[in-house]
Structure 1
């Protein structure tokens, strides 16, 4: 948090491209200066509604915020991180959540 009370937040929002074959899902991570994670989600939600309208996609109203630990954004700054518990081994985990073969 800086002297002005604002910090950087990465917010992930999820969309569905209903106007495309197979109706793919999209995850977007955007950066926001805000006083709290809740405010960052609010700002990202407004932008997500505009993005959905402008691109003819469905905004799924799902958002996750991540407070950046650095006040100055530089090359290599981590903008989002998510920990997920799973009993899956590494290869099945990646195949289930990330490498499904259906990514664009």
Structure 2
């Protein structure tokens, strides 16, 4: 009996795509994560890229063509506290400089204001 390839089983995948909001002042960038129930990482990326093109077109944004995928380490549907994305990056920067460079430049628009 052949061994079952775990990667070939259907799983949840999170895919991060990057956009530029060209019609907005300053043309800010958006990193957007979407979840996909797929047979493989390749299938999840293909589906996410299709959705990303539609999202960009319908909202007047530019899709920058970057798709990073992460297979969720969950046995079923995602639940509270499940990790949905992880990215490792090598850097010689210290902790504060690293956060300032990649996550806390002071120009982020975080949260959502529905008022």
Q: TM-score, normalised by structure 2?
A: 0.86
How far the C-alpha of 1:81 sits from its partner, in A, is 0.3
Residue 30 of structure 2 corresponds to residue 26 of structure 1: yes
Q: Which structure has the larger Rg over C-alpha atoms?
A: 2
Structure 2 gap segments, 5+ residues each:
1-5, 110-115
Q: Distance in 2 between matches of 1:98 and 1:81?
A: 14
Q: CA deviation at 1:5?
A: 2.8
State whether residues 11 and 63 of structure 1, in contact with CA within 8 Å, keep that contact through their aligned partners in structure 2: yes
| Aligned partner of 1:103 among 105, 108, 113 | 108
Superposed CA deviations along residues 49-74 of structure 1, whole A, max 9, x for unmatched, are 11001110000010000001103211
Give the number of aligned pairs.
103
Gaps of 5+ in 1: none
Aligned to 2:46: 42
Render the CA deviation track for 1:4-45: whole Å, top value 9, x for unaligned.
Answer: 931000000000000001100000000001111111000000
